[in-house]
């Protein structure tokens, strides 16, 4: 169950907050340049705040029609276990349902046990038919 003391709203954090939150949640660091370029291209974002501090976030990126990807889902460790990840995913998937075309392909990469959260929102593993691949520059 989610704690009522949190404000969950549409939006993206500042570049600095985005970068700090990713690292604090164990996600890979992003440069200031990467964040400044990427954040404005968010199709839909969600931030979670408590007492003026951003403690969680999630984004949907994509071309707006054919392909979307759910990214940057994270909640600060000290705020986990309160249903905030579910609230973020609910907001993102509700927006996809409202605005994305019925033929859109929505993907994500699930790290570790996060796959259990994503499965609650209809995401299924695609292997062995397809597998995630990545290249870092």
Note down pLDDT in tens along the chain; length 137 residues.
456 799 999 999 999 999 999 999 999 999 999 999 999 999 999 999 999 999 999 999 999 999 999 999 999 999 999 999 999 999 999 999 999 999 999 999 998 899 999 999 999 999 999 998 888 88
| pLDDT score for 109 | 94
Contacts 24+ apart (CB under 8 A), 97-100: 99/44, 100/65, 100/68
pLDDT in tens, 57-93: 999 999 999 999 999 999 999 999 999 999 999 999 9
| pLDDT score for 132 | 87
Domains and CATH numbers, the chain: 7-119 (3.40.630.30)
| pLDDT score for 1 | 47
Residues 6+ apart with CB under 8 A from 75: 25, 48, 55, 56, 84, 85, 88
CA 130 to each of CA 17, 34, 115, 133: distance values in angstroms, whole numbers, following the listed order? 34, 28, 16, 9
Measure the CA–CA gap between 42 and 59, rounded to whole angstroms: 6
| pLDDT score for 3 | 65
Residue position matching structure tokens 């994500």: 108
- Strand-pair category, 105-107 with 67-75: parallel
| pLDDT score for 64 | 95
| pLDDT score for 52 | 94
Residue position matching structure tokens 């660091």: 29
């Amino acid at each position: 169950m989610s704690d009522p003391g949190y404000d969950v709203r549409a939006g993206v954090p500042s570049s600095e907050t985005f970068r700090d939150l990713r690292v604090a949640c164990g996600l890979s660091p992003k440069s200031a340049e990467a964040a400044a370029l990427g954040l404005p291209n968010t199709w839909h974002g969600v931030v979670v705040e408590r007492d003026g501090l951003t403690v969680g976030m999630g984004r949907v990126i994509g071309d707006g029609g054919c392909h979307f990807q759910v990214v940057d889902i994270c909640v600060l460790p000290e705020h986990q276990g309160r249903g905030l990840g579910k609230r973020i995913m609910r907001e993102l998937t509700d927006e996809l349902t409202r605005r994305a075309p019925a033929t859109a392909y929505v993907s994500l990469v699930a790290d570790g046990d996060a796959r259990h959260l994503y499965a609650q929102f209809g995401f299924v593993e695609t292997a062995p038919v397809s597998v995630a691949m990545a290249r870092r520059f």
